[in-house]
Amino acid sequence: MGPMERPTSARPLLILAMDQRDSFAKLFGTEEQEATPDQVEQMRAAKTLVYRGVAAVADQVGDVQIGVLTDEEYGPEVLQRAKADGRVLAYPVEKSGQKLFDLEYGDDTAAHVERWDPDYVKVLVRMNPDDDQAGTRGQLDRLKALSDQLRASDRPFLFELLVPASDAQLASVGGDSTAYDRDLRPGLGAQVIHAVQDAGVEPTLWKIEGLETADAAREIVAAAKRDGRDADCIVLGRDAPQETLDHWLQVAAPVDGFVGFAIGRSIWKEPLQRYLDDGDEAAFLEVVGQNYLHYVRTYLAAR
């Protein structure tokens, strides 16, 4: 793999995320494990259409790096097209829909990574300081082995961190998930980032849930860059409504150390549900492209 240009605030990495597998299958009325060959083909065709919608507006985004995050189960054609188009390619290696991180391909992970030759290898991890310590230790051990493997092969590591509230934490803010996101999650997120680093896991990019304030965004960046680490952050979409996601992008974009976003369902989920009902391919492509452009422009205008 050749050297890749690092994203910066001047030239951010703006990722179309569609590595969903478990939740994607549900949109087609099935489960990942139970999908028929016909349903798998439908899902692959849908992911290709999402990519085409974004590819069609690629010449309108300005000086940014367009990224694509997708899986080989439902997105093999997208992986091939994105690579041929010179996009920044991110490839997930976690099992989908699991509470605790584990590798989709186990000992064969390296072979799958070599096959697709992505610019980033991505994991999704759910972790909270209140979690069961044995479960956390197991996650960290598996992540350390992967981190070491990626460092040895000089592959950048994209770490998507979700910090779901524990029952006690949610109760402490009266069951208000917005208050949790605003008041508790930034500090908890920083604690988890420290724990991940202390376990010897060293991401290149942290993919972080949206933050309500610039101070919270700075706190997360400070954790990612602790002790001189050369790591940056991007904002994830979390299937948020446009107004919420716009706010998260406007908060993060001006903060040093935030260098882009990875947005998925907020771009394509509603148009996909309509398309599955009405079969209007042209309308689907148009809306997906315009949704992606909306978030690109929101992010760039806020820098």
> If you average pLDDT over every residue of the chain, what do you get?
97
Provide the total of helices (H) and of strands (E) in the chain, helices listed first. Answer: 12, 8
Instruction: Check whether 223 has a pLDDT greater than 50.
Output: yes
pLDDT of residue 106 exceeding 70, the answer is: yes
Q: How many CA atoms lie within 13 A of 25 on its CB side?
A: 18
pLDDT at 264: 98
d(CA 177, CA 46): 32
Q: What's the confidence (pLDDT) of residue 4?
A: 74
CA terminus-to-terminus distance, the chain: 31
Enter the CATH code of domain 13-302.
3.20.20.70
Across the range 100-118, mean pLDDT stands at 97
pLDDT in tens, 260-295: 999 999 999 999 999 999 999 999 999 999 999 999
Q: What is the pLDDT at residue 3?
A: 54
**Does the pLDDT of residue 2 top 80, yes or no?**
no
Beta bridge partners of 49: none
122-156 pLDDT per residue, tens: 999 999 999 999 999 999 999 999 999 999 999 99
Concatenated DSSP letters for 258-301? EEEEEE-HHHHHHHHHHHHHH--HHHHHHHHHHHHHHHHHHHHH
**Measured between alpha carbons, how far is 6 from 4 in angstroms, rounded to an integer?**
6
- pLDDT recorded at residue 265: 98
What percentage of the chain reaches a pLDDT higher than 70?
99
Note the pTM of the prediction, 2 decimals. 0.97
Percent of the chain scoring above 90 in pLDDT: 98
For 22-68, the pLDDT digits (tens) are 999 999 999 999 999 999 999 999 999 999 999 999 999 999 999 99
Where does the pLDDT of residue 1 fall: very low under 50, low under 70, confident under 90, or very high at 90 and above? very low
